[in-house]
Amino acid sequence: MITLVELKNGKNATIKKIEGGPGLKNRLEVMNLREGKRIRKTCSAPLHGPVVLEIDGFKMAIGRGMAKKVWVEEI
């Protein structure tokens, strides 16, 4: 398993584990990021900027700190 930060741009993956407290897990759940969900990493901004994901046809950006706590398995 790797984190979202380590996943290469353009690759698809399944979320396997989310590390963090209930606040982080709730925040990610609201954004439809939960264990078992399939995602696609479209890009990550340079210089420690956000990570852009595509989930169910929608694009969203999450901070790099949050992305480091989301563990995925590449498909």
Look at residues 25, 12, 22, 14 and name the one whose alpha carbon lies nearest to residue 71.
Answer: 14
Query: For residues 29 and 51, what is the distance between their CA atoms, to the nearest angstrom?
Result: 17
> pLDDT-derived band of residue 45, with 50, 70 and 90 as boundaries?
confident
Predicted confidence at residue 68, as pLDDT, reads 96
The answer to whether the CB of 61 falls within 8 A of the CB of 4 is no
The answer to whether the CB of 26 falls within 8 A of the CB of 18 is no
Predicted confidence at residue 1, as pLDDT, reads 94
Confidence check: pLDDT of 48 > 90: no
Mean pLDDT (the chain) is 94
Class of domain 2-74: mainly beta
